[in-house]
Amino acid sequence: MDSIDLEVLQGAIRWHRQGQLVWLVTVVATWGSGPRQPGAMMAINNDGRVLGSVSGGCLEDDLIERMRNERASEKPELLTYGVTSEETARFGIPCGGQIRILVEPVTRIDWIEEILLRIGRHELVARTFDIETRQVALHPSVRGERVNFDGSVLKTVYGPRWRLLIIGAGQTSRMLAEFAKALDFEVLICDPRQEYAMEWQVPAARIIPGMPDDVVLEIEPDPHTAIVALTHDPKLDDMALLEALRSNAFYVGALGSKKNQHKRRERLKHFDLSDADIVRLHGPVGLPIGSRTPGEIALSVMAEIVAVKNGAHIRSVVQSKGQSESHYTCAA
């Protein structure tokens, strides 16, 4: 879940408590080229203030005018934009796409509070909303469950932000933290070496004190968590990996050459790790883009994390030297 979606839910609660009228607008379906995917949402209050987006700017002005001119229904309302070519041109919907949205008056906030509470515990939660009865139900969700609308019941899925735990506070870590922040990851840093931790200069990345293995256990990695070891000190990196590879983290990587990674895997075999655990290790870490500088290495690492997060698959590319390298490409 993106931070902007969290802001939408938090804003809806704040406005409702202030006594304002609030509507939650959710994309339930798209046809053709749509600027936002099903599940994208925004909140609008009766002053015309907006949080979030359902079209990247194409439809927001019309929706705001509906609220200001009291054309919004007191009941949930389905709106479809882009049905005619004239409408598509008027709203600037790209490539002739159509967007169907649900405009839902927020009359209760208990379900929003409960969702935020569960997200804070790093849980995935699904919400079903019956348009006719206005009944809301929440239940645990699983990774991969998608938004679904059958014409009368909307199911949306809410989850925690993606997060990245970086072991090591060196230059490459700083660059990686900046890339992760730009992609809306929550960034956590662990480095027990005071000379490195004291010089950390990425304010939005939170330093967690402690030894790497303890910190991995402390944050309880889930399928929305990536862990990367970048200290170049086997004692520290391996400590983190021993716990990370046994966890539910969707990505675990470590910096080092192919030779050093082979040695690392041999060391890990002497601990309580299965072959299935060890094979999860991404090492050498990052996509093979010929990285040399800290910035390039950080870019390759973040690209690989995003590829795994998005469910990309690997294809083999024959290089000009006759060698084969693995690259990610989005699955069809």
| CATH code at position 182 | 3.40.50.720
Taking residues 85-108, report their average pLDDT.
72
Quote the CA–CA distance of 246 and 252 in Å, as a whole number. 10
State residue 178's pLDDT score: 95
Quote the CA–CA distance of 283 and 252 in Å, as a whole number. 9
The single residue listed with the structure tokens 């709203």 is 91
pLDDT digits (tens, 9 = 90+) for 251-310: 999 999 999 999 999 999 999 899 999 999 999 999 999 998 999 999 999 999 999 998
Taking residues 185-202, report their average pLDDT.
90
State residue 92's pLDDT score: 54
Phi-psi region of 70 (alpha: psi -120 to 50; beta: other; left: phi over 0): left
State residue 63's pLDDT score: 85
For residues 113 and 44, state if they share a domain. Answer: yes
State residue 73's pLDDT score: 65
For residues 246 and 300, state if they share a domain. Answer: yes
Kindly tell me the burial class for residue 200, based on how many C-beta atoms sit within 10 Å of its own C-beta (0-12, 13-18, 19 or more): middle
Choose the final residue of a domain: 116, 137, 158. 158
CA atoms within 13 A on the CB side of 103: 23
State residue 91's pLDDT score: 53
- The sign of the dihedral angle between the CA atoms of 6, 11, 12, 13 is positive
Cβ-Cβ contacts under 8 Å for 40 (sequence gap 6 or more): 26, 27, 52, 53, 54
Most confident segment among 32-36, 211-215, 272-276 = 211-215
Strand order in the sheet with 125-130: 136-140, 125-130, 153-158, 148-149
Quote the CA–CA distance of 263 and 276 in Å, as a whole number. 17
Instruction: Please say whether the beta carbons of 109 and 16 come within 8 A.
Output: yes
State residue 325's pLDDT score: 44
**Predicted confidence (pLDDT) at residue 330 exceeds the cutoff of 50:** no
Quote the CA–CA distance of 234 and 66 in Å, as a whole number. 60
Taking residues 202-206, report their average pLDDT.
86
Confidence of residue 332 (pLDDT cuts 50, 70, 90): very low
For residues 144 and 18, state if they share a domain. Answer: yes
**Predicted confidence (pLDDT) at residue 327 exceeds the cutoff of 90:** no
Quote the CA–CA distance of 258 and 316 in Å, as a whole number. 18
| Six-digit token string for 191 | 């480095």
Q: What is the DSSP letter of 184?
A: T
Taking residues 118-123, report their average pLDDT.
89
| Six-digit token string for 74 | 């007191």
**Predicted confidence (pLDDT) at residue 96 exceeds the cutoff of 90:** no
For residues 170 and 145, state if they share a domain. Answer: no
State residue 171's pLDDT score: 93
Confidence of residue 34 (pLDDT cuts 50, 70, 90): low
More confident residue, 90 or 145: 145
Taking residues 169-198, report their average pLDDT.
93
For residues 124 and 143, state if they share a domain. Answer: yes
| Six-digit token string for 76 | 């949930």
For residues 167 and 206, state if they share a domain. Answer: yes
Q: pLDDT over 70 for what percent of the chain? A: 86
Strands (E), the chain: 22-31, 41-45, 50-52, 77-81, 98-105, 125-130, 136-140, 148-149, 153-158, 163-167, 186-190, 206-207, 225-229, 251-254, 281-282, 313-318, 324-329
Quote the CA–CA distance of 30 and 147 in Å, as a whole number. 12
State residue 329's pLDDT score: 44
| Total number of domains in the chain | 2
For residues 289 and 320, state if they share a domain. Answer: yes
More confident residue, 35 or 150: 150
Choose the final residue of a domain: 129, 158, 187. 158
For residues 186 and 318, state if they share a domain. Answer: yes
For residues 75 and 175, state if they share a domain. Answer: no
Domain hosting 57: range is 3-158
State residue 161's pLDDT score: 87
Quote the CA–CA distance of 41 and 112 in Å, as a whole number. 13
State residue 83's pLDDT score: 60
